[in-house]
Amino acid sequence: MRALSFLSLFVLSSTTALAAPKNVIYMIGDGMGPAYLTAYRYYQHSNEHGTNASRQAVANTIFDDLLTGMASTYPDDDTLVTDSAAGATALATGVKSFNGAISVNRQHIPIGTMMQLAKQMGKANGIVASSQVNHATPAAFVSHNVSRRNLNAIADMYFDYRINGKPVADVILGGGTDYFVREDRNLITEFKSEGYQYADSWQQLDILTRKPAIALLDNVGLPAALNTKQPRQLATLTEKALQLLSPAEKGFVLMVEGSQIDWCGHDNDIACAMAEMHDFAQAIAVAKAYVDANPDTLLVITADHETGGMSLGADGKYLWLPDVIQNVTATGRKIADELNAASSDEAALSRWLELTKIKLTTEQQQQLLAQRGKEQKDLREVAVALIAKYSYTGWTTGGHTAADVPLMAYGKNSADFHGFMDNTAIAKQLLRYISTSPQ
């Protein structure tokens, strides 16, 4: 499987070459439903004003300032609830598919993606993700597979699939070393043989001075934003990607995913989710600044789906307490690991208080301690449930929902992204721009 036909994409064109933006920055908050934006607004307000937050006017966040509409996310079946693979396929190709599909249709036929089209048009491409770079969302922009679970095969395709003799992505930044350096194949060696610069640590990012370039900074995904000592993870990688892609004579397409918003939602971990939203917001600020300096650029931001069915307010109370969340300094997974590692129940309770500042009742203490020494998942679920209880955060599921997701746009032609759109309509509009950009 080599080059795809993009004739159907060119037929879509109704935008003149002069009107099309030269560069496209496409940012996807995985799992980022509308309640996440609202929660982040109040979370930031609490962060800025502390215990006096309720007495202050609530300021907009960057999400609020760029919000232009909403998007539907349903897949090509009767479930109405998409997974990340089908959602990303729609966002990358303009075609809906089945859950688990990586840019193939229901007949398992590959669908051309906007990055493949951009490569054929002579543009540069980049992907940035806080997950492994061959995870569902980035994978749908550069590869094809009937199952998102075939992570090694997807990683192989990043190198093997060629357009004009070159891999589709010129810049690849995120996690995923385990899939690119394996016993059966060392893809990094092969990328280097193609002239790619390579970095495997944050300290080495500065050695990436030109495209093509790849940086894999962790074995799988990057550390959770709430746990890491590396500040501004996604913003730093976005800055590096824009630096490497610019200038591009015919422009570029960059996809940036805030991957772990979704992972926090699956865990029903509100503190984790707000930290990932902040990490994503900082990356958006970087992209917005780039558009301000390069007005021939379009920034589009959306989500592939909503995760967790988050609600602000729970247990019949007209109350949500973001200050409780502000005091939590570790994800539920890390809290569980720390409590299990404690030398005694007393030490575990002391560590809980250090990490959350939440004073538990005797019954809640016993509930927490009863999970020590069991599966990490069991202890984590109790920990995040207690944080949700004290903050009055509600969750309806550990999976995805069919809720519409936010749509944001900024820069050249941003007015074309407003009101209600289907996820495929977002992609089709971007495909029009890419197919009609000056050559």
Q: Name the catalytic one among 14, 46, 72, 84.
A: 84
Q: Is 434 in contact with 113 (CB distance < 8 Å)?
A: no
* Helix residue ranges, H only, 294-422: 322-326, 332-341, 345-356, 362-369, 376-391
Look up 343 and say whether it is catalytic: no
Distance separating alpha carbons of residues 309 and 395, to the nearest angstrom: 5
Just list the catalytic residues. 84
